[in-house]
């Protein structure tokens, strides 16, 4: 797909971008003082970055690689699948985010298990944790495959090695910076992806 020179250039760009994310996560980590800072960004994330991080998360590998492929092969009816995610996201940001934040701050809650335990009792923690484990194994797995696909297409890297590198990269930047780092990185990614999609319509 690309020449050897182009592959080398793309590999350098991807490496530089990854290093930028690592440095950014490290700088954010230096400001983390408490567990609450690390796990829920100190409950200080505003509506705008929250919206962008939802966009950055929603417009990920499944959208750019999956839905677009299905749309090309099966038609524009695939857009309804995306709208299923858009409506709940809008409701979460505009209606539920503030009450959830206040409730979490009041009771010192940082996980969905905490919320489940508050409403249904401590016994609800285990099924909540299990359901989240299954859900995020699938979601995170899609991200690994998406990044590996990009690496394979741009640099010719083996898919299995690409998945392994994706796992290492995402783990390092997430563990190093905590939620605040993830939120603002997602906001950056969401902005780049959104602008890039509109640019593709032009070029």
Confidence at residue 127, expressed as pLDDT on a 0 to 100 scale: 93
- Sign (positive or negative) of CA dihedral 90, 92, 93, 95: positive
The count of domains in the chain is 1
Helix ranges, 75-124 (H) = 79-91, 97-107, 112-120
Confidence at residue 1, expressed as pLDDT on a 0 to 100 scale: 62
Confidence at residue 199, expressed as pLDDT on a 0 to 100 scale: 85
Q: What is the pLDDT along the chain (203 residues), one digit of tens a residue?
A: 677 787 788 888 888 988 898 888 888 888 888 888 888 888 887 777 777 776 666 666 666 666 777 777 887 777 777 677 777 777 877 888 788 888 888 888 888 889 899 989 989 999 999 998 888 888 788 788 888 888 888 888 889 998 998 889 888 888 888 888 888 888 787 778 778 778 877 87
Question: Domain span at residue 45?
Answer: 4-202
Does the predicted TM-score (pTM) go above 0.75? no
DSSP 1: -
CA 171 from chain center: how many Å? 12
């Amino acid at each position: 797909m690309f020449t050897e020179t182009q592959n080398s250039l793309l590999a350098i760009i991807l490496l530089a971008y990854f290093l930028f994310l690592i440095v950014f996560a490290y700088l954010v980590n230096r400001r983390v003082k408490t567990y609450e800072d690390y796990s829920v960004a100190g409950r200080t994330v505003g509506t705008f970055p929250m919206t962008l991080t939802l966009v950055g998360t929603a417009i990920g590998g499944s959208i750019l690689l999956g839905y677009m492929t299905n749309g090309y092969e099966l038609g524009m009816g695939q857009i309804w699948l995306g709208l299923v995610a858009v409506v709940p996201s809008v409701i979460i940001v505009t209606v539920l985010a503030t009450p959830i934040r206040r409730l979490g701050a009041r009771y010192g809650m940082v996980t969905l298990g905490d919320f489940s335990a508050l409403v249904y009792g401590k016994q609800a923690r285990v099924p909540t944790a299990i359901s989240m484990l299954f859900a995020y194994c699938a979601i995170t797995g899609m991200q690994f495959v998406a990044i590996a696909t990009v690496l394979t297409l741009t640099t010719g890297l083996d898919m299995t090695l690409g998945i392994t590198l994706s796992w290492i990269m995402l783990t390092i930047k997430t563990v190093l910076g905590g939620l605040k780092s993830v939120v603002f990185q997602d906001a950056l990614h969401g902005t780049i992806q959104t602008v890039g999609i509109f640019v593709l319509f032009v070029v």
